[in-house]
C-alpha cells in the first residue's frame, strides 16, 4: 500500500495524540489529503507543519463544533472521503456498587458520544451528497467483555461498537463502509507510566493500528462493512 489514498480527503480526529499522529503519518505516506483534528489546535502545529493538510480545532463531543468542522472541510477541500476517529480515553473507576457516576459520564461522553456525533455527522455529509466513503473508529478489546473497576470504560466502548455496527447496517447499501478497530493495550508513554511492570513487548504499536486503519479506509476493503478488527499483538 504505497499511494492508494492519493487525492482522498481523510479526517483524522485526535491527530495530536500518540495514536492519532501515527495514523496521520501513515495516511500522509499513502497520499491522503489530511484534515487533522484536535480540540486544542496548538497540539497540531508541529504535525501540520510536518505533514501538511488542514489543521482544525473541534470538540468531537459537541454537535455544533463537528458541524462547523464538516462545513469547513467541504468549503476548503470540496469533499470528504474518509474519517478515522481515534479520540478516546481510559479511566478506571470504583466498583459499580460504589456509584462512581463522574467516571461513567466522562467515559460515555468521550468514548461513545464522540463516535455517535463525529461518525454520524460525516455520514450525513456523505449521504446528502450521495457520495461513497469509509468511516473507521478506534474501539477497544473491552468492547467485548467488561473487567473489574472498568465498567464505565467497557460500557462506553461497547456502546461505540454498537453505534458503528448500526451505522454499517444503515449505510452499507449506499456505498459507505463503517468499521471499527479493537486494539489490546497500545504502547504509549502514558500506558507505560501507568503500568510500569507490564511486558511492553506484548503491546500493540500505534503504527500497527494505523496500518489496519489504512486498510479499512482504502478501496481494498470495499467489501468489508460492519466489522470490528481485533489488533491485539501478543497481549
Query: Model confidence over 79-138: pLDDT tens digits?
Result: 999 999 999 999 988 899 998 899 999 999 999 999 999 999 999 999 999 999 999 999
Query: Model confidence over 185-206: pLDDT tens digits?
Result: 999 999 999 899 999 999 999 9
Determine whether 232 is an active site residue.
Answer: no
pTM higher than 0.85: yes
> Which string of b and e fits 84-93 if b means at least 16 CB within 10 Å?
bbbbbebbeb
Query: Model confidence over 5-16: pLDDT tens digits?
Result: 999 999 999 999
Query: Model confidence over 50-90: pLDDT tens digits?
Result: 999 999 999 999 999 999 999 999 999 999 999 999 999 99
Compute the distance between CA of residue 135 and CA of residue 177 in angstroms, rounded to an integer.
6
Choose the catalytic residue: 104, 116, 153, 203: 153
Average pLDDT over residues 179-184: 97
SS3 212: helix
- What pLDDT, on the 0 to 100 scale, is given for residue 2? 52
- What pLDDT, on the 0 to 100 scale, is given for residue 93? 81
State the Cα angle at 92 between 202 and 84, rounded to 5°.
Answer: 65
Beta strand ranges found along 71-191 (DSSP E): 82-85, 133-138, 176-183
Amino acid at each position: 500500500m504505497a499511494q492508494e489514498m492519493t487525492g482522498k480527503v481523510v479526517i483524522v480526529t485526535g491527530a495530536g495524540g500518540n495514536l492519532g499522529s501515527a495514523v496521520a503519518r501513515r495516511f500522509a505516506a499513502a497520499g491522503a489529503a489530511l484534515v487533522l483534528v484536535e480540540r486544542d489546535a496548538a497540539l497540531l502545529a508541529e504535525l501540520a507543519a510536518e505533514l501538511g493538510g488542514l489543521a482544525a480545532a473541534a470538540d468531537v463531543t459537541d454537535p455544533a463544533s463537528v458541524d462547523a468542522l464538516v462545513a469547513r472541510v467541504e468549503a476548503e477541500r470540496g469533499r470528504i472521503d474518509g474519517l478515522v476517529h481515534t479520540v478516546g480515553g481510559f479511566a478506571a473507576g470504583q466498583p459499580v456498587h460504589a456509584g462512581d457516576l463522574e467516571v461513567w459520564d466522562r467515559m460515555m461522553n468521550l468514548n461513545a458520544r464522540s463516535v455517535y456525533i463525529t461518525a454520524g455527522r460525516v455520514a450525513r455529509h456523505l449521504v446528502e451528497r450521495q457520495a461513497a466513503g469509509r468511516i473507521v473508529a478506534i474501539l477497544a478489546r473491552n468492547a467485548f467483555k467488561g473487567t473489574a473497576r472498568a465498567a464505565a470504560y467497557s460500557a462506553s466502548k461497547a456502546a461505540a461498537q454498537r453505534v458503528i455496527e448500526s451505522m454499517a447496517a444503515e449505510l452499507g447499501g449506499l456505498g459507505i463502509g463503517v468499521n471499527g478497530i479493537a486494539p489490546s493495550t497500545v504502547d504509549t508513554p502514558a500506558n507505560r507510566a501507568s503500568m510500569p511492570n507490564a511486558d511492553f513487548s506484548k503491546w500493540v504499536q500505534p503504527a500497527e493500528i494505523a496500518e489496519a486503519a489504512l486498510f479499512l479506509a482504502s478501496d481494498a476493503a470495499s467489501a468489508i462493512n460492519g466489522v470490528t478488527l481485533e489488533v491485539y499483538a501478543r497481549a
